[in-house]
Amino acid sequence: MPQEHDMVKTALLLSLLVFGCSSAPAPRADVGDSTVDTDRGSEPLDVDSQSHPGDVADEVSGDGAHDEVGNEVSDARPLVVMTFNTGTSLVPPAGAINKGFGKQQAAWCDEYYGNGLSWMALIEDARVFVEGVSPDLIVFQEIFHPEECAGIPEEARVGFICEHWKAGDPTVAQMVAGEQYQVACHPGKPDKCAAVHKRLGRFASCKADFCLEGLDGYTVDGCGKGARVARGRVEGPNGPLLTLVSVHGSSGFKEEDSECRVRQFDQIFVDLGDGEAGANGGLNIIMGDFNTDPAAMADADASARRLLEFVGVGKPFGFVNAVGSDAEKTYGGLFTIDYVISDGCDGSCWTAGVSPGHPPVTDAVAFDHHPTVCNLTCPWPTLSR
């Protein structure tokens, strides 16, 4: 599994030298003739007054309620989605108890687990967090796949998933999501997975509860192995509901890293690799770790500019969570690189450990990303629990 976080951290710190945190851009950043915004033409979201699961449902449910175009709705509720980079590259401070995840464990996690979520106490904290939110859709990045345990020495297994895991046991992604979810992963990238709650539907390309390569995706030549962008079509009892595009852009701030992200973003909006865009037809939700901040990095990162050619005011797609200097920082307290994007859904978002009233996933020092949760209103007449 690639050890990505050190590369990302170095890249983002280098970018601080380029942009300077003290002169962060305004919430709306002009790039050519386009602007960055949280949706297709509305004012930026007030991130200090986010709604919570149930708020939108309260507005539209009840006898005689109607949507924006006059269709009657019943028992409607938000579509709750989550993007969660579970990488654990942070080294705990000296002397911290940290649920047993100390300096040595962090070193082993880096060397053998690719900094993916693999420490049992942290897996449990992540599971409890996800259970409490109960999202309809989740995308994970950097979540350790335990079939790789065979190559890890015994001394580096104690306390980790590999200490007791055996073939046929649930994977980390399954453990964190829970039995109510169907889990499917990117082709060639078992550390990147998506989950759909069974109350919503199932991935059309995955017939089991877990499919190791159950999403559609293709390798970008010269940008590592496996698919960093993958598509899953979600079907409900009455047919197709939406297309989920799961994203984990290449890390790094070198020109070749940026070019890889450009080509990955083209997979989303131009051609996934099978002749059609990843986000193609019907309703699309695109989310994940883009490894670029489209507002703060637009001047120096070609991939940020490429993303803004498709997403923003007047564009086919809109950011659901906020973009700009007022956006809640999802990575290291420095940048917003984890996004939820859609061509039909709007809503409000919160970030664990950042948004007021939303504590972090764990009190341990481990995760360097903060998961983002969005409550979406989407253009279908009824979505009921």
Rounded Cα gap, residues 161 and 110, in angstroms:
14
pLDDT in the model for residue 138 = 98
Number of C-alpha atoms within 13 angstroms, CB side, residue 119? 27
Mark the ranges of the chain whose per-residue pLDDT is less than 50. 1-75, 382, 384-385
Structure tokens at 21: 């945190």
- Taking the alpha carbons at both ends of the chain, their separation in whole angstroms is 37
pLDDT in the model for residue 45 = 30
Rounded Cα gap, residues 5 and 115, in angstroms:
8
Q: Could you tell me the residue ranges of all domains in the chain?
A: 5-18+29-61+75-375
For residue range 307-365, list pLDDT tens digits in order: 999 999 999 999 999 999 889 999 989 999 999 999 999 999 999 999 999 999 999 99
Q: What is the pTM of this model?
A: 0.83
Rounded Cα gap, residues 312 and 316, in angstroms:
8
pLDDT in the model for residue 95 = 83
Other beta carbons within 10 angstroms of residue 166's beta carbon come to 8
pLDDT in the model for residue 349 = 98
**Domain 5-18+29-61+75-375 superfamily per CATH:** Endonuclease/exonuclease/phosphatase (3.60.10.10)
For residue range 169-205, list pLDDT tens digits in order: 999 999 999 999 999 999 999 999 999 999 999 999 9
pLDDT in the model for residue 76 = 58
For residue 11, give the nearest of 367, 242, 178, 258 by alpha carbon. 258
pLDDT in the model for residue 380 = 72
Other beta carbons within 10 angstroms of residue 258's beta carbon come to 24
pLDDT in the model for residue 184 = 98
